[in-house]
Amino acid sequence: MNISSNIIKNLLLHNNKNQILYDLNSLSGKEIAKEIITLATFFRSTTKFSNGDRVILSMNDSPEFIYSFIALISIGCIPVPLNPLIQESELEYILKDSKATGIIIDNHQYLRLYQVIHSSSYIINDCVLVNNPSVKEYGSINYLQKYLSFKKAFNTSLISEFVYAENNPVAFWQYTSGTTGNPKAVQHGHYTMLTNTELFAQKTLGIGEDDVIISVPKMFFGYGLGNSLFFPLLSGATVIIDEKWFSLENLKKNIRLYKPTVIFGTPKIYSDILHNYESFSENDFSSVRLFVSAGSSLQHSIIKEWKSKFDKTIVNGIGSTEIGHIFMCSNQVKENDENSSLGTPVTGYQIKICEIDKPDSVVENHEEIGELCIFPPEKTLSSYWQQENTNTAKYKNGWYFSGDLCSKKEDGTYVYHGRKDELFKVNGRWVNPLEIENTVLQNFHEVRECAVTYFVDDDGLEKPILYIVRKTDINKDLLSDDIQKKLAENFSSYKLPTRTHFLNTLPRNSNGKVIKKGLENNLTEA
């Protein structure tokens, strides 16, 4: 089985005339299928790519990203999407870890990362392909120039005779965000996103040929890869592709130009829209039937304010790189009735809550917090590349131990309580940052975002510390005092922050998640 053959089959079956909307142009399903198979034939006959080779994709969102990703899978290679803005040190680590032999990269990033790429002992120079026909520096392989010359001579009528590679069980890799250490490569098989598209995108969200999708998260991120590539190409929905990075102005432009029906975002994006509510007109979201949020915890205050201002509901989902995409989400018809409610599992995904650090003990009592464990559908369980100890710890008898903390309510819905690796102890008792953060955000509209972590005092003891980003220039001392009073009403003294810092912004990784590790050393106080 090769998922590329399923994608090509669906592109030809639906033949959506506006399958991809990109830079004021449109591409049909048939045109995309031809480009993919032509490129796959080019890779197979002209390059040194071999079955099983890892090939890095360091590209902005574009049709070429989609062609390259699917064409590589077609010939048995393993595409590894990375943030095109990746730092040199991280790319150096991933090139060594993955043993990637090739890379397809946008020209401006190639010039920036040239030294790192060609210093790798695994990279084959003939397998460095630059995605721009005008690049001639450093004797680079001119990907598009060579491909365009090849395409002119290629007989597209032979597309139906293309032979897909069938002997590679791994379809693609995704690297984790690395918030708690070096990023790890998650190996996904061919069924992972084929199954998730059917169960989540089509059966749960009802995405089909009449939909127009826009995903603010980019395709190097697993969440964005499903939204912009697998979901539309397998379901026949139209997808809006934009190489530019997120800005409110650019999002408004795309909404007004293309009238999307489904928007995939993150809590930060929905918060930014609400913070700039006045710049959106009443009609901007009139075409949208579905807003989806994932990537981090969605505050109930955002859902409530969104409903109040736009009379629309946000579907709150949770997923992970290891599972491939969203495996549990709130009911899109009802407004969440509790902070951070995750709703119920997507049909086909089993869920259990285990005691923290006791994987053999399942939590039986409702409301008790434990570690969220997922049993994905058959043939979709992933694994980490060359991480035997981590695989043993995280995958047990078909279950994936996510590290997310959840509880199950009596009505069968689940509530999110943060990350296990963010817990810390004060005087021997656990502190959960999320419950403190939620209390601040629910009670103080002056706070745009906040984060709780810990510092080590002069006695070597861990103590809570609160970081705040304000919406307004309200007096910091007064706000800090009010917050401390409210927290003292709700929490035991050992949980109360002993320091409060006001910041201009919170640091985030390439996937938009707040980086708490070393936070106090990396930010300038506002």
Domain boundaries, the chain: 3-183, 192-420, 423-522
Compute CA 318 distance to the chain's CA centroid, rounded to the nearest angstrom. Answer: 10
* Closest C-alpha among 223, 258, 414 to residue 336: 414
What is the pLDDT at residue 468?
A: 93
Q: What is the pLDDT of residues 108-151, one digit of tens each?
A: 899 899 999 999 999 998 899 988 744 444 344 445 556 666 66
329-333, 409-413, 469-473: least confident range: 329-333
What is the pLDDT at residue 136?
A: 43
Strands (E), 376-473: 383-384, 395-396, 399-408, 414-419, 424-426, 429-431, 447-456, 462-470
Same fold flag, 3-183 and 192-420:
yes
What single string gives the DSSP state of each residue in 197-231? IIIIIITTS---TT-EEEESS-TTSHHHHIIIIIH
The CATH number assigned to the domain with range 192-420 reads 3.40.50.12780
Mean of per-residue pLDDT scores for the chain: 88
Tokens describing residue 179: 């918030």
Greater pLDDT, 195 or 446: 195
Q: What is the pLDDT of residues 400-441, one digit of tens each?
A: 999 999 999 888 889 888 888 888 889 888 899 998 998 998
Q: How confident is the model at residue 304 (pLDDT cuts 50, 70, 90)?
A: confident
Question: What is the rounded CA–CA span in Å between residue 444 and residue 271?
Answer: 14
Q: Is the pLDDT of residue 77 over 90?
A: yes
Question: What is the rounded CA–CA span in Å between residue 431 and residue 312?
Answer: 35
Q: How confident is the model at residue 336 (pLDDT cuts 50, 70, 90)?
A: very low
> Given this structure, which CATH class describes domain 3-183?
alpha beta
Question: What is the rounded CA–CA span in Å between residue 319 and residue 337?
Answer: 20
Tokens describing residue 324: 């491939």
Mean pLDDT in residue range 469-478: 86
The CATH number assigned to the domain with range 423-522 reads 3.30.300.30
Q: Is 76 helix (H, G, I), strand (E, B) or coil?
A: coil
Mean pLDDT in residue range 159-170: 87
Q: What is the pLDDT of residues 246-300, one digit of tens each?
A: 999 999 999 999 999 999 999 989 989 998 988 988 789 999 999 999 988 888 8
Burial class (CB in 10 A: 0-12, 13-18, 19+), 491: middle
Q: Is the pLDDT of residue 192 over 50?
A: yes
Please report where in the chains the tokens 């940052």 appear, as a residue. 433
Tokens describing residue 365: 């009592």
Mean pLDDT in residue range 73-84: 96
Q: What is the pLDDT of residues 350-389, one digit of tens each?
A: 999 998 878 788 887 777 889 999 999 999 999 999 999 9
Q: Could you tell me which residues are beta bridge partners of residue 413? A: none
| Residue 293 · residue 306 · CB < 8 Å | no
Mention every residue, 6+ apart, whose C-beta is less than 8 A from residue 426.
Answer: 454, 461, 462, 463, 464, 494, 495
Greater pLDDT, 240 or 448: 240
pLDDT > 70 fraction of the chain, expressed in percent and rounded: 90
Residues in the chain: 526
Mean pLDDT in residue range 88-98: 95
What is the pLDDT at residue 373?
A: 96
132-141, 182-191, 331-340, 498-507: least confident range: 132-141
Q: How confident is the model at residue 160 (pLDDT cuts 50, 70, 90)?
A: confident
Question: What is the rounded CA–CA span in Å between residue 306 and residue 280?
Answer: 13
Mean pLDDT in residue range 196-212: 97
Mention every residue, 6+ apart, whose C-beta is less than 8 A from residue 357.
Answer: none
What is the pLDDT at residue 286?
A: 93
Q: Is 399 helix (H, G, I), strand (E, B) or coil?
A: strand
Question: What is the rounded CA–CA span in Å between residue 402 and residue 351?
Answer: 11
Compute CA 400 distance to the chain's CA centroid, rounded to the nearest angstrom. Answer: 18
What single string gives the DSSP state of each residue in 280-328? S-TTTTTT--EEEE-SSPPPHHHHHHHHHHHS--EEEEEE-TTTSSEEE
What is the pLDDT at residue 139?
A: 40
What is the pLDDT at residue 510?
A: 64
Q: Is the pLDDT of residue 521 over 70?
A: no
What is the pLDDT at residue 93?
A: 95
